[in-house]
């Protein structure tokens, strides 16, 4: 076999000093740390980048020492490093790890390290060697970018809240209501998950507006929003409460049957009865006519909304301050 086909033979034939060759190669690296350790994980040799990284006067300061003596500020790193190296010695298998080296120069230091078994001329494991690259700044950039993404997402969430919110009542608006009940209808078609709605129309809001003016009317809308939100906070299940018109409101109840929806309607009626509107020496009860319904099999969304709207106007014809629904659905 010619020496060009056998690297070991080539080195021997040319009397190349392998030790010197390795030193020259590893010391060419300015950004990656190279180190060699014996079976007890004591340093045998480190490259110039290692000396520079740890602000050593020379490599003799670390030769013969272990990570426990070098990383006195971070003993956990020394413990994990020793464990990894002993595993390599026991198994002969190389490993890749991320290592936390503690805080240095005000930065939390993390390195990506490739660790390998070190063999003698008889191919016996006589130690380990590692190649480490500091990725702290990369991680810091990633964390900063991630933080920017989180802040951007929060800003988008806030913007979506504004887009979906009625500014006066602080309830959800008609845009949100349409998107929400369309989604629930699709869920119903797909998985037969029920949902119900309550349609509310104020009985005497126009009278308050005409008699006391629009400023008081705006205060009434705020008052209505406050009471409805208080019900949302105390109710055990999810409620989506929306203002869909001047004095029209919609309560969407996911995963809710007509019985529970009717209970909520009576809860709303009682809450407004217990807390009359009182502002600028004006004391009056705000009442609602309400239509309640649960989506039915083979019913389109348009037919469902029309049916609940019919219940609402039936409640108004019944003398207002009334709740109308299909009694047979409660059975």
Question: For every one of its 331 residues, what pLDDT tens digit does the chain have, with 9 covering 90 and above?
Answer: 454 456 566 556 655 566 676 777 778 877 888 999 999 999 999 999 999 888 889 989 999 999 999 888 888 888 989 999 999 999 999 998 887 777 666 667 788 889 999 888 888 999 999 998 887 776 566 666 777 777 877 777 777 778 889 999 999 999 999 999 999 999 999 999 999 999 999 998 888 888 889 899 999 999 999 999 999 998 888 999 999 999 999 999 999 999 999 999 999 999 999 999 988 888 888 999 999 999 999 999 999 999 999 999 999 999 889 999 986 665 5
Q: What is the rounded distance in angstroms from the CA atom of residue 311 to the CA atom of residue 252?
A: 16
182 and 318 in a single domain? The answer is yes
pLDDT value at residue 92: 92
Q: Answer whether residue 12 is part of any domain.
A: no
Q: Answer whether residue 147 is part of any domain.
A: no
Q: What is the CATH number of the domain that holds 62?
A: 3.30.450.20
User: Is 314 in contact with 280 (CB distance < 8 Å)?
Assistant: no
pLDDT value at residue 148: 77
pLDDT value at residue 210: 86
Give how many domains the chain has, as a whole number.
Answer: 2
pLDDT value at residue 324: 95
124 and 234 in a single domain? The answer is no
Q: Answer whether residue 237 is part of any domain.
A: yes
Q: What is the CATH number of the domain that holds 240?
A: 3.30.70.270
Question: What's the domain range around 37?
Answer: 31-140
170 and 317 in a single domain? The answer is yes
pLDDT value at residue 1: 46
174 and 294 in a single domain? The answer is yes
User: End-to-end distance of the chain based on CA atoms, in angstroms?
Assistant: 95
Q: Answer whether residue 152 is part of any domain.
A: no
The reported pTM is: 0.57
The strand ranges marked E within 67-154 are: 95-104, 107-119, 125-134
Q: Answer whether residue 154 is part of any domain.
A: no
Q: What stretch of H or E contains 289?
A: strand 288-294
Burial of 137 (0-12, 13-18, 19+ CB in 10 A): exposed
Q: What is the rounded distance in angstroms from the CA atom of residue 213 to the CA atom of residue 246?
A: 14
pLDDT value at residue 97: 86
Identify the three-state secondary structure at position 18.
helix
**How many alpha carbons lie under 13 Å from residue 166 in its C-beta half-sphere?**
28
189 and 272 in a single domain? The answer is yes
């Amino acid at each position: 076999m010619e020496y060009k086909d056998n690297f070991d033979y080539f080195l021997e034939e040319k009397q190349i000093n392998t030790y010197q060759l390795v030193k020259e190669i590893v010391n060419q690296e300015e950004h990656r740390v190279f180190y060699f350790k014996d079976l007890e994980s004591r340093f045998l040799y480190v490259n110039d980048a290692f000396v520079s990284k740890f602000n050593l006067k020379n490599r003799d300061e670390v030769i013969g020492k272990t990570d426990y003596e070098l990383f006195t500020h971070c003993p956990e790193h020394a413990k994990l490093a020793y464990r990894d190296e002993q595993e390599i010695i026991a198994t002969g298998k190389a490993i890749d790890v991320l290592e936390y080296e503690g805080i240095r120069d005000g930065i939390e230091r993390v390195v990506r390290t490739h660790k390998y078994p070190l063999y003698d001329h008889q191919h016996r494991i006589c130690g380990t060697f590692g190649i480490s690259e500091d990725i702290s700044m990369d991680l810091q950039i990633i964390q900063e970018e991630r933080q920017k993404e989180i802040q951007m997402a929060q800003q988008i969430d806030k913007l979506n809240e504004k887009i979906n919110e009625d500014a006066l009542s602080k309830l959800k608006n008609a845009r949100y209501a349409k998107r929400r009940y369309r989604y629930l209808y699709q869920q119903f078609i797909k998985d037969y998950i029920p949902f119900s709605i309550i349609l509310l129309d104020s009985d005497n809001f126009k009278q308050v507006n005409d008699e006391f003016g629009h400023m008081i009317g705006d205060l009434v809308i705020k008052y209505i929003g406050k009471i409805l939100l208080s019900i949302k906070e105390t109710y055990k299940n999810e409620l989506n409460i929306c203002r869909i018109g001047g004095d029209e409101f919609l309560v969407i109840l996911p995963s809710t049957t007509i019985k529970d929806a009717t209970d909520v309607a009576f809860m709303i009626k009682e809450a407004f009865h217990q807390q009359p509107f009182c502002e600028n020496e004006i004391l009056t009860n705000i009442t609602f006519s309400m239509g309640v319904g649960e989506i039915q099999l083979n019913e389109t969304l348009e037919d469902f909304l029309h049916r609940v709207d019919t219940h609402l106007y039936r409640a108004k014809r019944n003398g207002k301050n009334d709740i109308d629904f299909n009694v047979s659905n409660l059975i």
